[in-house]
Amino acid sequence: MSNPDIKHDQINDDRVYFFDKPRNVKILMQVFYALCALLVVLDFVINRYTYHPLENLWAFYPIYGFLGCVVLVVIAKWMRTFLMRDEDYYDKVEERRLQEISPARAHEEDDHVGH
């Protein structure tokens, strides 16, 4: 079953938008890096109380957040090697079953745009 819902084709658009300019992206990223650095520095400035011994480690939350996400993505990518199938993996079988149950229905469907 291909995309039954598609309504709009791609059109040509010559306007230049905010993130089309590499300079804007660069500024945004630099602000982001600066904020990250600031947050690590604040770790030493703000005297925070802790509930858990791990929280006393140097920059625990930044490191945990960063490593956590890298591990998450690496594992998820590895999961693709055995979990990923074709887009119509289930549809093939189910479409065939629908044909058997009700051939008329299988033909008339997918004319709708999903709402």
Partner 1 sequence: MWAIELPPFVPFFIAALFAAFTRGWLRSAILLLTPVLGGLHLMTVTEGIYWQTTLLGYELTPYKVDSLSLIFGYAFHIAAFIATLYALHVKDNVQQVAAPLYAGSAMGAVFAGDLLTLFVFWELLALTSVFLIWARRTSRAYFAGIRYLIIQVLSGVILLVGLLFHAADTGSLAFGAIGTGSIGGWLIFLAFGIKCAFPFLHTWLTDAYPEATPTGTVFLSAFTTKVAVYALARAYPGTEMLVYIGAAMACFPIFFAVIENDLRRVLAYSLINQVGFMVVGIGIGTALSINGAVSHAFNDIIFKGLLFMTMGAVLHMTGRINGSDLGGLYKTMPRTTIFCIVGAASISAFPLFSGFVSKSMVMSAAIEEGYDWVWLMLLFSAAGVFHHAGIKIPYFAFFAHDSGIRVSDPPINMQLAMFIAAALCVTIGVYPSMLYSLLPYDTGYNPYDATHILAQTQLLFFSALAFVWLNLRNMYPPELRSTNLDVDWVYRRLCPGIIQGAVARLAVIGELNNALVHKIGALSPTLARQFGPDGALSSTHPVGSMVKWVIILLAVYLILSFI
CB of 7 to partner 1, least distance (A): 4
**How many residues in the shown chain lie near partner 1 by CB under 8 A?**
72
Contact 43, 59 (CB under 8 A): yes
Q: Is 10 in the site for partner 1 (CB under 8 A)?
A: yes
Cα 59 from Cα 39, distance rounded (Å): 9
Contact 49, 55 (CB under 8 A): no
Hey, which residues between 13 and 52 contact partner 1 (CB under 8 A)? 13, 15, 17-20, 29, 32-33, 35-36, 39-40, 42-43, 46, 48-52
CB of 61 to partner 1, least distance (A): 4
Which helix (H) or strand (E) is 103 found in, with range?
helix 103-108
CB of 22 to partner 1, least distance (A): 14
Site string for partner 1, 88-107 (x = CB under 8 A): xxxx-xxx--x------xx-
Site string for partner 1, 61-90 (x = CB under 8 A): xxxxxxxxxx-xxxxxx-xx--xxxxxxxx
Question: What DSSP assignment string belongs to 50-73?
Answer: -SSGGGGSTTHHHHHHHHHHHHHH
Cα 38 from Cα 31, distance rounded (Å): 10
CB of 23 to partner 1, least distance (A): 16
Amino acid at 2: S
